[in-house]
Amino acid sequence: MCGIAGIMTSDGSAPGTDLLERMGDALSHRGPDGRGRHVRNGVGLVQTRLAIIDLRTGDQPIYAKGRGEEASALVANGEIYNYLELRDGLAGREFATRSDCEPPLHLYLSEGAEFVERLRGMYAIAIHDPGSNRLVLARDPFGIKPLYFASVANGVAFASEPQALAAAGLVKPELNPTARDQLLQLQFSTGRGTAFRGVERILPGETVVIEAGRLVEERRLAALPRLAPMPMPTEQAIRELDGVLTESVDFHQRSDVPYAMFLSGGIDSSALLAIMARLNERPVRAYTAGFPGTAVPDERLHAREVARAAGAEHVEVEVTEADFWALTPRIAAALDDPAADYAVLPTFKLAQAARADGLKVVLCGEGGDELFAGYGRYRTARRPRPFARRMRGKGILEGLGILRVPPKERVWRAGIAAAEEQGADQGLTRLQTLQAVDCADWLPHDLLIKLDRCLMAHGVEGRVPFLDREVARFAFRLPDDLKIKGGLGKWILRKWLEKALPEARPLQRKRGFTVPVGEWIARRGGELGHLVAAQPGIQEACHPDKVERLFASGVGKHPLAAWLLLFFALWHRRHILGLEPQGDVFETLATG
């Protein structure tokens, strides 16, 4: 896992090494173990390395020759889990390393931009092909690993994080109002645009080709099979699920350093633990977050029981109100592509604990809800009309009178609506369409950004075995009634877990995961409200007096709205105004 960045100039002039160094410095947290650089024929690449596989010879850039005399160069952020199988299939190619990222370069040299079709993993890859004077950028189909690009004064630049482009002076940190409006209603932004004007995402599964500093080719690899459900008996589905999920977890455990996992006690992480316990001779190390002294359900007790049943080494991490006030400015600073999901707090704290214990790799359960239909919104949206509800039909701040421009005059839901229309044109069931919408936007632009930034802030790699192409191929084509039955989502996964780890009690209804941000904000809302309302980003988008009134009222029925406004105020200060966090929330907001 690493950070990558680079530029291709339009006139062929060599990028300055100081420019590459500034981008590398901005990405150093993603790769504290080393740095590599490549400059040739108007292309400059930089990579900061987190050493996971091939610790001795796996430094990047990686070079390999094709038909021409000049070697092509690759820098990558991610893991190619089927790299051993790819190496075996590349007979006649000479490998210089044991790195998982070298086979993609050889595949590119033999197959061109189609090389991504054979990759199984999470990745953001940049390849400079001097023979054809091309820069190729590719991102994995689920968007697990981030990649951004921008047209700049003399070409096209890219980076793992937008803030690296700003730190190098390639783009100005100017706010994109459309993305801001989406953030303030959805807690994330959709599609290609980002919160920074002029900075765009390489979309999940997208490969782009750049020549002479301009985009000349785009292609996209789908994460989900666009096929209707395939009938399958329950017992057959359980057997096939066991095989495909076990294979994925086994692949995701490929590492030359120790690994652990995050255990919430829910269905997804319990399923991962059950398989990891089966595959590992030594006890699995499992980290669980808890919120002592609050009204939210404490998952630690159930997670403790699950860990004990699986023979795991259980580590409980307390997340307190003091952590909330102290860490939130740092978290907002880490999330340069803003995702205001309150789960950022426990995710950040768990990653901090794992890194303090010397770990670089953790397996996580993201993707289970999307692929196996775990969200309650799937069940309500499938109800017969007129009882069905549109998914994300109402914005978080809608109806509160806080925004200067009423939501109905905005286009904040346009990205979600476009994804819904695209899914509806594919001949899918209503449930499959909802899953596809979430996999297009919610998953990559909220959950996976949260995971990537919160873990990489500590130099920790997060792996997500559910988001594997073979798991997706199996799960997405399951009949709807094997996903949702008797009011329970993830039904087939629950039935499998009932056999694999019955102590997880998978058929019991469980309350959804929550973080007591509203409870904490309410205790100090009176002193916090005027600080939030005074921030330039808030004043531009909102009526300050109504923001202050929301916080002063004790948050009440709108804890998510208060959290979202606080997060955006902190994010705007750091990434638009360029002000570094100064202490806790109150100290940071009070600093001019």
d(CA 308, CA 56): 36
Q: Give the residue from 3, 1, 41, 43 showing the smallest Cα distance to 19.
A: 43
Task: List, as one string, the DSSP characters of 100-166.
Answer: TTHHHHHHHHHHGGGGGGG--EEEEEEEEETTTTEEEEEE-TT--S--EEEEETTEEEEESSHHHHH
Q: What is the bridge-based pairing of β-strands 285-290 and 313-318?
A: parallel
Q: Is 364 a residue of the active site?
A: no
User: Six-digit token pair at 119?
Assistant: 């990759």
Backbone φ and ψ of 492, nearest 5°:
-70, -35
Q: How many residues are there in the chain?
A: 592
Q: Given its phi and psi angles, is residue 133 left (phi above 0), alpha (psi -120 to 50 degrees) or beta?
A: left
CB 160 within 8 A of CB 27: yes
SS3 assignment, position 551: helix
d(CA 4, CA 46): 6
CB 545 within 8 A of CB 401: no
User: Six-digit token pair at 301?
Assistant: 């007790």
Task: List, as one string, the DSSP characters of 370-430.
Answer: HHHT--HHHHHHTSPTTS---TT-S-TTTTSS-BSS-GGGS-TTHHHHHHHHHHHTTT--H
d(CA 146, CA 123): 8
Give the CA angle between residues 28, 34, 40 to the nearest 5°.
90
How many C-alpha atoms does 389 have within 13 Å on its Cβ side?
A: 9
Cα-Cα-Cα-Cα dihedral sign, residues 486, 492, 498, 499: positive
User: Six-digit token pair at 316?
Assistant: 């409980």
CB 219 within 8 A of CB 113: yes
Helix residue ranges per DSSP H, 525-558: 525-533, 536-541, 544-552
Q: Give the residue from 342, 347, 568, 567 showing the smallest Cα distance to 456.
A: 347
Active-site pick, 2, 101, 364, 454 = 2
Q: Which residues contact 234 (CB under 8 A, 6 or more apart)?
A: 482, 492, 495
d(CA 198, CA 294): 42
Amino acid in the structure at residue 434: L
CB 60 within 8 A of CB 101: yes
Q: Give the residue from 14, 481, 2, 415 showing the smallest Cα distance to 233.
A: 481
Residues tagged active-site = 2
